[in-house]
């Protein structure tokens, strides 16, 4: 796998000291995982390697937000495969909010979920629902 040099992100806000950035500008979250979650991430990496990807990273910001009208969160994904410095495949491990999986599937072609209790499965793309408000 490709080695990436990361450095802490400097700035203001609650995430300072918990983020790193590589030379290509990708943002990573520094995580303390449980042993079980680490095991799932290793399985996810092996899965992406078996699909022919060789540039695999953990805890990378996917460039999209998910949530509700009152709260949104940056989508930091557990494991991702990069090609030409762009995310081409994502694996979310363990318990993952359904809204996050749906949002990722709208933006990326290959999104997979590896829950604690079962095997990896592809997240199907769900059409966006439009809501019209009356004046």
pLDDT in tens, 83-112: 998 999 999 999 998 888 988 998 898 999
Q: Where does the pLDDT of residue 114 fall: very low under 50, low under 70, confident under 90, or very high at 90 and above?
A: very high
Taking alpha carbons only, the member of 81, 94, 106 closest to residue 41 is 94
The Cα–Cα gap between 101 and 33 comes to 20
The DSSP element (H or E) to which 37 belongs, if any, is helix 35-50
Q: Are 110 and 123 in contact (CB under 8 A)?
A: no
What are the extents of the domains in the chain?
33-122
Please tell me what DSSP assigns to residue 123: P
Q: Which two tokens stand for residue 116?
A: 């604690």
Pairing of strands 72-83, 86-93: antiparallel
84 SS3 class: coil
CA terminus-to-terminus distance, the chain: 54
Residues 12/32/25/5 CA torsion (nearest 10 deg): 120
**Over the stretch 21-40, which tens digit does the pLDDT of each residue have?**
777 777 777 767 788 989 99
Select from 131, 120, 90 the least CA-distant residue to 107: 90
pLDDT band at residue 119 under the 50/70/90 scheme: very high
Among the listed residues 95, 109, 98, 24, the one whose alpha carbon sits nearest the alpha carbon of residue 61? 24
Pull the structure tokens for residue 34. Answer: 């449980």
């Amino acid at each position: 796998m490709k080695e990436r040099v990361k450095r802490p992100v400097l700035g203001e806000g609650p995430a300072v000291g918990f983020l790193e950035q590589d030379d290509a500008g990708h943002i990573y979250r520094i995580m303390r995982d449980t042993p079980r979650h680490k095991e799932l991430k290793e399985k996810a990496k092996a899965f992406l390697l078996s699909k022919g990807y060789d540039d695999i990273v953990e805890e990378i910001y996917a460039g999209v937000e998910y949530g509700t009208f009152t709260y949104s969160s940056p989508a930091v994904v557990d494991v991702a495969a990069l090609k030409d410095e762009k995310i081409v495949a994502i694996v979310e491990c363990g318990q993952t909010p359904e809204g996050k999986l749906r949002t990722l599937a709208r933006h990326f072609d290959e999104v997979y979920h590896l829950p604690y209790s079962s095997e990896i499965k592809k997240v199907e793309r769900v059409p966006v629902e439009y809501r019209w408000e009356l004046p």
